Structure 1
Amino acid sequence: MIKPYLMFNRECEEAFKLYIEAFGGELIAMQKYSELPSSPDFPVEESDKELVLHSQLRITENGFIMGSDSKRELNDSDKMVVSVELDSEEKARKAWNILKEDGSIHMDLHETFFAKLHGSLKDKFGISWMFTVN
């Protein structure tokens, strides 16, 4: 399944409220950085705790948009990510290894507290991808 993933400069919650108003959709999730398990590998500044870590909005029966606040300032071209949810680690690693060639890794593909594998990269064409295997 492929879902658009929108990245925001500290305005994700405000944007999703507007999208709910516009589409009359159902908010499936809105998690804040304050809900992250404490980890020295991913410290959260006090000023970032109310930022949106992950949100998901159903806008049609099978159509979703997802989003979050970035902890770094994003240019407009960095605000859209193609989120790919795959059903096997093998498929994810194959696609990851192909797309990372001559690209740049934002977050290495590895196990997280919410997925078997998760990672993000920008391919050599400037397209940002987020991989998740549940």
Structure 2
Amino acid sequence: MQLNPYLSFNGQCEAAFKFYEQCLGGKIVAMLTYGSSPMADQTPPEWRDKIMHARLMVEDEILMGSDSPPEHYEQTNGMSVSLGIDNPEDAERIFHALAENGTVRMPIQTTFWATRFGMLVDQFGTPWMINCE
């Protein structure tokens, strides 16, 4: 079994995944627009450049996402994408990169369970937890 986060965006998926690719050191391996899909003729012209499916590989891990049509989009609530990072310096770097133009909920710091732990919501509305045990 494989368990992957699948993120929904309100028209910002392409920008978000390019940002995540940079912050996380991954590689976008798929980015399909609505306009290049078999549904292109059923898609409003202003939505054809939006992302139907994106896939980012970070080492052996996968992050996926898409732009939800406006009538189906709901802001992320009640969950976070949790990153387990082995090196405290990498944890700090990734935390601060993801926090750019976002909102820090808990600054990255030492806790009783981790060398570094922090929580943020990035500029695209995705909640993250960075944990370095």
TM-score (norm 1): 0.52
SS at match of 2:76: helix
**CA spacing shift, 1:34–1:66, aligned 2, 3 Å:** same
SS at match of 1:3: coil
Task: State the match for 1:56 in structure 2.
Answer: 55
Q: Distance in 1 between matches of 2:49 and 2:78?
A: 19
Matches within 5 A, 1:58-77: 58-60=57-59, 62-72=60-70, 74-77=73-76
Q: Any idea what the Cα deviations from partners look like across 1:50-107, whole Å, max 9, x if unmatched?
A: 00010000012x2110000011253323697xxxxxxxxxxxxxxxxxxxxxxxxxxx
**CA spacing shift, 1:49–1:65, aligned 2, 3 Å:** same
Q: Displacement of 1:26 after TM fit? A: 1.1
SS at match of 1:6: strand
Q: Displacement of 1:38 after TM fit? A: 4.4
SS at match of 1:16: helix
Tell which structure's C-alpha radius of gyration is larger: 2
Work out whether residues 40 and 48 of structure 2, in 8 Å CA contact, stay in contact via their aligned partners in 1. Answer: no
**CA spacing shift, 1:2–1:63, aligned 2, 3 Å:** same
Q: Distance in 1 between matches of 2:44 and 2:78?
A: 22
Q: Distance in 2 between matches of 1:71 and 1:51?
A: 9
The alignment yields a C-alpha RMSD, in angstroms, of 2.3
Q: Displacement of 1:37 after TM fit? A: 1.3
Matches within 5 A, 1:11-50: 11-38=12-39, 43-50=42-49
**CA spacing shift, 1:37–1:68, aligned 2, 3 Å:** same
Q: Distance in 2 between matches of 1:70 and 1:7?
A: 6
TM-score (norm 2): 0.52
Unaligned runs of 5+ in 1: 81-134
SS at match of 1:34: helix
**CA spacing shift, 1:79–1:58, aligned 2, 3 Å:** farther
Q: Post-superposition, which runs of at least 4 consecutive aligned residues in structure 1 deviate over 6 A?
A: none
Unaligned runs of 5+ in 2: 80-133
